[in-house]
Structure 1
Amino acid sequence: MKKPNTVYVIDDDKIYTYLLSRQIKSVDFCDNTLIFNNGQEAINHLSPLQDSHDELPDVILLDLNMPVMDGWQFLDVFDTFKLAKKIKVYIVSSSIDEADHQKAAGYDICNFYVKPISKENLAEIKRDILS
């Protein structure tokens, strides 16, 4: 099975991102993982890459509750980008609030996972990306 080239993890929890990056490596989920501590860091990185198909990520794993720019604010800006390729966005949040799930339905979100994400969730995402 082929795998995604690049995954962005946008989350401010350093312990969680460390564990997730190790889990991503252990299941050979992708070739490259970039971690951003908030939505603004990711936007700053993505903005100049919009026309560069090969440099864009295949997947974004996005937390909702972060300082500086939260996940919702990130999505509002991200939705305005004219990207050279389709990027699949998955929300990975500790929120169990049904309002967050309903709000997510208003965006082009592939799925909503409650933290912590499991190896089975990663396998499901990988299948979804490659289908």
Structure 2
Amino acid sequence: MNHKIDLACIIDDDKLYVKMLSRLLDIKKLCKEFLVFENGSEAFTYFKDIFEQPEKEKIPQVILLDLNMPVMDGWQFLEEFVKIKSKMERPITLYVVSSSINPDDIQRAKEFEEVSDYWVKPISLGELEEMFEKV
């Protein structure tokens, strides 16, 4: 079975959730490899460095972003990501994946043109496959 994409990125501080998600990505061969960042700051530093010296093979095709994290939360990451997005040479599909069911959070996330969709945790295997089909 071929991998659907080469590189995915998970930005989430929930170690157990990340482990489960990583396992599903492996089992279903949804991507060849993935990056994991525990907060928005780590992820933003990575993207900023990549965009300053673009290396296409290191730019993920999909990002799964949590909103509630320490150091730099998902909202702060989105605000900064928007500023550097124009430096990308290839599109990135960004999904917010959060435990928040607050309609205000969902609406706010969808106001970012960079956000492809909002998914509520825990996501099912079917939902995960659907996400990767859209990339």
Between the aligned partners of 2:70 and 2:82, the Cα distance in structure 1 is 20
Q: Which runs of 4+ in 1 moved over 4 A?
A: none
Q: After superposition, where does 1:101-112 map in structure 2 within 5 Å? A: 101-107=106-112, 108-112=114-118
Give the one of 89, 97, 121 matched to 2:94: 89
Aligned to 2:36: 35
Structure 2 residue runs without a partner (length 5+): none
Between the aligned partners of 2:33 and 2:3, the Cα distance in structure 1 is 14
Q: After superposition, where does 1:9-28 map in structure 2 within 5 Å? A: 9-28=10-29
Letter of the structure 2 residue corresponding to residue 71 of structure 1: G
Aligned to 2:132: 126
Letter of the structure 1 residue corresponding to residue 111 of structure 2: G
Q: Could you state the TM-score of these two structures normalised by the residue count of structure 1?
A: 0.94
Letter of the structure 2 residue corresponding to residue 36 of structure 1: F
Letter of the structure 2 residue corresponding to residue 77 of structure 1: E
Between the aligned partners of 2:16 and 2:132, the Cα distance in structure 1 is 23
Aligned to 1:75: 78
Identity percentage of aligned residues: 42
- How many residues get paired? 129
Structure 1 residue runs without a partner (length 5+): none
Between the aligned partners of 2:30 and 2:5, the Cα distance in structure 1 is 7
Kindly indicate whether the alpha-carbon contact (under 8 Å) linking 1:5 and 1:31 is maintained by their aligned counterparts in 2: yes
Between the aligned partners of 1:27 and 1:72, the Cα distance in structure 2 is 29
